[in-house]
Structure 1
Amino acid sequence: MKTTTPHSRSFPLRRAVASLMTAAVFGLGTLSASAATEMPPFPDVTGDVVQGDGNDYSLKFNIGLTQSSAQYRGLEYFKKIVEQRSDGHIQVQMFHSAQLGDDLQSVSALQAGTLEMTSPSTSPMVSMFPQFAVFDLPFLFPKPEVADQVLDGPIGQRMLEEASTKGLVAIGWSENGYRQLTNSKRAVTKPADLEGLKIRTMQNPIHLDIWRTLGANPTPMSFAELFTALEQHVVDGQENPWITIKSSKFNEVQQYATETNHVYTPFITLVSERFWNRLPENYQQLLRDAAKKMGDYERHVSRTMNDQIKEELKSEGMEVTELTPEQVKVFQDKLEPVYADWRDKIGGDLIDSIRDAAANAE
């Protein structure tokens, strides 16, 4: 287990000379910081211009995360592909930070036809698509490459097809990533450390079961409300990928973090069926192609930044605990009842097929 604590820094002062020195130090620091957080460049847009039906289309694409997230970076690439390959006949309007509603509100807007696209986490959608609960089982994917193999293979394709109902068309996967725990009370190295902590979870029954089984007090809440709730100590902690913790500035209101990698969560790219049915078939295929390329690129951004951002959080004063394999095993053993409780509800065949794929991928 490694723990990192904050460091302090001072700058010299002295009128004109000191101002120059300070400006130089500040400038170097800014360059260093921007270099450290620079996202991978966009891949080139490839493929011919897609011929439509002569009409122009505009689509609003709303996501829950901020402009500094890998998800938004992926959305920027999606816009670039769609607008370039449609020769400007499809215009993509991007909305971040749940500007047009949180995940569930966005999905409802797709069904109503008042929003064209969104890319929610699978977790809040379990009430609509019970099979998505499989992604919330703890420690299901031992590494991200295993998740890729499952999502990009027959299992993932079948789940996209099953989600293309209820006024929605599901066209691709991207990455929310492995979830990590943060809190404002104490370092967490074992389940007993969670006793009594109020942990914000998504509106998802398996997540509630996970944290309740570990001894915490899970509190479902919209992501859009989370920062204020942490700041005002309505809840003690939350769990999200490193990149989300950083981009949402949770480290400003959370002192402690534990790298648990307890759940790997994908994003699913959804289109309003009402909008989809208005598009010519060529443009439908363009959106599918762009969603696939967006997902591949967004995963690359997410993973490139993951360890880097963890180190940045440490340097900014967050106390980060990295669990040993033995410590992880204690959490896994404690959570075995969650698998037993949900096996029949999710479908044992689906769970077994993913576990088989995971075993073959390792």
Structure 2
Amino acid sequence: MKFRRTLLGLAMAATALAFTQGAIAQSNYKAEYKMSLVLGPPTPWGMSGKIWADLVKERTQGRINIKLYPGVSLIQGDQTREFSALRQGVIDMAVGSTINWSPQIKELNLFSLPFLTPDYAGLDALTQGDVGKKIFAAVDKAGAMPLAWSENGFRELTNSKKAIRTPVDLKGMKIRVVGSPLFSDTFTALGANPTQMSWADAQPALASGAVDGQENPMYLYTMLKMHTVGQKYITTWGYMADPLIYVVNKDVWNSWTPADREIVKQAAIDAGKQGIALSRKGLVEADKPLMKEAAANGATVVNLTAAEREAFVKATRPVYAKWKNTIGADLVNAAEKAIAGSRK
């Protein structure tokens, strides 16, 4: 009996200690966590973040409350500073673009290699396989905790001048690109005049004709009614995709209990699956409703043949080769192998 009482006493003490430690840990929780997003709801990107925040609040019974800050408003709209701010603790959490974080994490330039990924199957082979794990290891090493993937879609080309079917058609055209040297190299190789600017600056530039065209996912074309700013020619070339990554600041991550960390991670995985489905909606269906909507608004839609697309691939191969070494030849080779496997 005495032995049993001793065991019972030890068990109760251990339970009390665990409860106390959990209570102490949770007392260090913030009343609210700041999540940075470039785009807010109702875009697929913004919805990815909202779904994550809602799931976390529900599953932690309100222990972790997250507020969305779209427009990267926590850093005055400077997308390329987002990862640095996350690492420094200005931002607690983010659903971030591989493009925007590539200046700080060179491996993320993989997804921006021109014409690396031909389709969604190839993209899934990267993010959901060993390459995705290698990318997450790079993000972790750079100073943030990566949890799951979402997606901002393949980026298509639009302009106000003419239908683009060959690299020659792009010669001399002013194309707005994001602030990444790889994008500038790609469009320079195609004979265009790449112009780096924020999206806030791009819209009036497109409307006035100061800039001829831009590249972005198709859902943005229809959502932002880009036909109203002169973008009446669309070329679907799928030259690169923009996966999104769910991350948490490491100090924040370490402040949570192991159970809550698992909840936040699973919520990110679940939200990411929904975000991917939202980003592809209107494009994976047989009749591609988003393209039909664009055409109904007066846009001329050019769907490149395999031979036409190959001309763009050939024109950008020197850029691909240059950046392959910058990114890491082993990682690019692994990506090429994964994509080839997805096509069998």
TM-score by length of 2: 0.85
Match of 1:33? none
Relative distance call for 1:270 and 1:181 in structure 2 (3 A) is: same
The answer as to whether partners of 1:246 and 1:309 remain within 8 angstroms in 2 is: yes
User: Highest CA radius of gyration, 1 or 2?
Assistant: 2
Per-residue displacement from partner, 1:30-77 (whole Å, max 9, x unpaired)? Answer: xxxxxxxxxxxxxxxxxxxxx884445421212112423111222222
Is 2:210 the counterpart of 1:266? Answer: no
Amino acid at match of 1:354: A
Paired position in structure 2 for 1:219? 195
What code does the residue aligned with 1:356 have? K
Match of 1:229 among 177, 202, 205: 205
Paired residues of 2:26 and 2:257 also in contact (CA < 8 A): no
Q: Hey, which of these two has a bigger chunk of helix by percent? A: 2
Work out whether residues 259 and 320 of structure 1, in 8 Å CA contact, stay in contact via their aligned partners in 2: yes
Give 1:116's aligned residue: 92
Whole-angstrom CA distance in 1 between matches of 2:82 and 2:124: 25
Matches within 5 A, 1:44-193: 53-55=25-27, 56-57=29-30, 58-100=32-74, 101-193=77-169
* C-alpha contact 1:66 1:248 (8 A) present in aligned 2: no
* SS class of match (1:185): coil
* Identity fraction in percent: 31
Residues 158 and 214 in structure 2, CA contact (< 8 A), matched pair in contact too = yes
Q: Which amino acid aligns with 1:359?
A: A
Q: Which residue of 2 aligns with 1:325?
A: 306
C-alpha distance in 1 between matches for 2:315 and 2:196: 21
Distance in 2 (alpha carbons) for counterparts of 1:230 and 1:66: 22
The separation in 2 between residues aligned to 1:115 and 1:202, in whole angstroms, is 22
Among 233, 236, 259, the alignment partner of 1:282 is: 259
Do residues 204 (structure 1) and 173 (structure 2) align? Answer: no
Q: CA deviation at 1:183?
A: 1.1
Query: Would the alpha carbon gap of residues 231 and 94 (structure 1) be closer, same or farther in structure 2, given more than 3 Å must change?
Result: same
Q: Distance in 2 between matches of 1:332 and 1:113?
A: 40
Q: CA offsets, 1:127-178, max 9 Å, x none? A: 2111111111111112112211221122211211211244422222111111
Q: What SS does structure 2 have at the residue aligned with 1:120?
A: strand
2:319 paired with 1:334: no
- 3-state DSSP class of the match of 2:65? strand
After superposition, the CA RMSD in angstroms is 1.9
Separation in 1 of the partners of 2:318 and 2:338?
22
One-letter identity of the residue aligned with 2:334: S
Indicate how the Cα distance of structure 1 residues 234 and 129 shifts in structure 2: closer, same or farther if over 3 A, else same: same
Contact 1:141 1:264 in 2 (8 A): yes
State the AA in 2 paired with 1:355: E
Counterpart position of 1:20:
none
Aligned residues: 312
Q: 1:311 aligns with which of 286, 292, 300?
A: 292
Find the residue that maps to 2:235 and give its secondary structure: strand
Aligned counterpart, 2:339: 358
Tell me the CA shift for residue 224 of structure 1. 3.5
Cα deviation for residue 208 of structure 1 reads: 1.0
Instruction: Show CA shifts across 1:243-282 (max 9, x none).
Output: 1222333232112111111112211222222322322222
**Deviating more after overlay: 213-222 vs 315-324:** 315-324
Q: Which amino acid aligns with 1:62?
A: S
Q: Which amino acid letter does the alignment assign opposite residue 320 of structure 1? A: V
Contact 1:136 / 1:265 at 8 angstroms: preserved in 2?
yes
Q: Is the 8 A contact 1:118 1:271 kept in 2?
A: yes
Corresponding residue number in structure 2 for 1:17: none
Aligned-partner residue type, residue 349 of structure 1: D
Secondary structure of the structure 2 residue equivalent to 1:331: helix
Question: Match for 1:311: what amino acid?
Answer: K
Counterparts of 1:289 and 1:234, CA distance in 2:
45
Confirm or deny: 8 A CA contact 1:188 1:321 kept in the other structure. Answer: yes
Gap runs ≥5 in structure 2: 1-21
SS at match of 1:294: helix
Say if 1:330 and 1:154 are closer, same or farther in 2 by CA, change over 3 A: same
1:311-349 deviation digits (Å, cap 9, x = unpaired): 212112222211111211111111121222222222221
Partners of 1:311 and 1:77 in 2: CA distance: 28
Are the aligned partners of 2:109 and 2:327 in contact in 1 as well (CA < 8 Å)?
yes
